[in-house]
């Protein structure tokens, strides 16, 4: 059985907005964990999984914008990794909807492992790049942060589950 997914500073990429979004991903995975543990039922688990997927899409879009604005050289590769996960999870959502798969601890472990590897591997690379090359001017970060908050604010109005800011 899996334990709760805990955030620690080792996951920090050094960009506050990204770290806060990653913390929200941890929270959503933990909500799914709790729903499975407490046997809240398929509908509750599917609802949380859908929230996680929706939030992940927005996070990926914002992260990719930051990489593009900052001139990150591995932008295309990173976008490909994001697309591969979204495609895989969408296929799984279809299997769950059709009854061919169920939300389980295996799915939870897959999501946790993917997020951990992705943050500690790929996301750390762009965090280091921006630190080493000074590519992120404070004004660019401030503009991106404002746009991120605006995007998340619009998302929040559509969905009451999200309590990020």
Domain 16-158 is of which CATH architecture? Answer: Up-down Bundle (1.20)
The answer to whether 48 and 159 are in contact (CB under 8 A) is no
pLDDT number for residue 163: 36
pLDDT number for residue 139: 53
Whether the pLDDT of residue 161 is over 50: the answer is: no
Query: What's the N-to-C CA distance of the chain in angstroms?
Result: 32
The answer to whether 2 and 109 are in contact (CB under 8 A) is yes
Q: Which long-range contacts (CB under 8 A, 24 or more apart) does 20-24 make?
A: 20/164, 21/59, 21/62, 21/63, 21/148, 21/164, 22/59, 22/115, 22/119, 22/123, 24/55, 24/59, 24/162, 24/164
Would you mind telling me the total number of residues written for the chain in this entry? 165
Half-sphere exposure (Cβ direction) of 12: Cα atoms closer than 13 Å: 7
132 band by pLDDT with thresholds 50, 70 and 90: confident
pLDDT number for residue 160: 40
117 band by pLDDT with thresholds 50, 70 and 90: very high
Whole-prediction pTM: 0.81
Quote the percentage of the chain above a pLDDT of 70: 80
pLDDT digit string, tens, across residues 140-154 = 566 666 766 666 666
pLDDT number for residue 23: 96
Average pLDDT along the chain:
84
Cα torsion through 56, 57, 62, 64, rounded to 10: 100
The answer to whether 130 and 70 are in contact (CB under 8 A) is yes
Kindly state the tokens that stand for 100.
Answer: 């061919």
The answer to whether 9 and 136 are in contact (CB under 8 A) is no
pLDDT digit string, tens, across residues 36-94 = 999 998 889 999 999 999 999 999 998 998 898 888 999 999 999 999 999 998 888 88
């Amino acid at each position: 059985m899996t334990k709760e997914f805990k955030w620690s500073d080792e996951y920090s990429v050094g960009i506050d907005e990204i770290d806060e979004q990653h913390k929200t991903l941890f929270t959503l995975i933990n909500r799914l964990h709790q729903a499975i543990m407490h046997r809240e039922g398929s509908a509750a688990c599917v609802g949380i999984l859908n929230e996680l997927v929706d939030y992940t899409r927005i996070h990926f879009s914002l992260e990719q914008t930051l990489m593009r604005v900052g001139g990150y050289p591995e932008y295309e590769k990173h976008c490909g990794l994001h697309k591969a996960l979204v495609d895989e999870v969408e296929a799984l959502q279809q299997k769950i909807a059709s009854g061919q798969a169920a939300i389980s601890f295996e799915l939870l472990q897959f999501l946790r492992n993917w997020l951990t590897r992705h943050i500690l591997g790929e996301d750390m690379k762009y965090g280091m790049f921006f630190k080493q090359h000074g590519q992120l001017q404070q004004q660019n970060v401030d503009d991106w942060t404002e746009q991120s908050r605006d995007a998340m604010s619009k998302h929040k109005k559509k969905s009451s589950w999200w309590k990020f800011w």
